[in-house]
Amino acid sequence: MIRAALFQSVRCASRSVVRTQLPASRAIAPCLSVSSTLYTRAPRHSGIRCYSAPAGLSKTEVEGRIMDLLKNFDKVKDASKLSSTSHFTSDLGLDSLDTVEVVMAIEEEFSIEIPDKEADSILSIDKAVNYILGQPDAH
């Protein structure tokens, strides 16, 4: 399939010719009977996408966004206990309903939907970070 797309783009590029008019200052010689029209190739457009930057989020960015989210969460009593390995229940003092609210806030922050089965296993910051890093459409 890729090979067919490459051949098609090469064929299209070789067929398309653009006529451009030479400016009078670049005329070859007035005594020669040469047309002032120059034939050039059209710019080639490839049917293949090339990405210049790696896609996805970095671990430090995801971790920072989740930490900021938890710092602003009103149920977290002591923000000094926040670390990359903080457990929602034992370290931050959140109950099960608060944990569900945190997971929903994470969904909203990264524009993804976390299935209930996997949301039940996200009980700490590092598990949330690892889950987000595993999602290619998170941004």
Residues annotated as catalytic (active site), given as ranges? 95
In the chain, DSSP assigns E strands to 17-21, 37-41
Q: What distance lies between CA 35 and its chain's CA centroid?
A: 50
C-alpha to C-alpha distances, 125 to 48, 67, 73, 74, 122, nearest whole angstrom: 38, 8, 14, 17, 8
pTM of the full predicted structure?
Answer: 0.59
84 vs 36, 58, 87, 105, CA distance in Å?
Answer: 70, 14, 9, 17
Query: pLDDT truncated to tens, each residue of the chain (139 aa)?
Result: 666 665 666 666 555 555 555 555 555 555 555 555 555 565 666 666 665 555 678 999 999 999 999 999 999 988 888 999 999 999 999 999 999 999 999 999 999 999 999 999 999 999 999 999 999 888 8
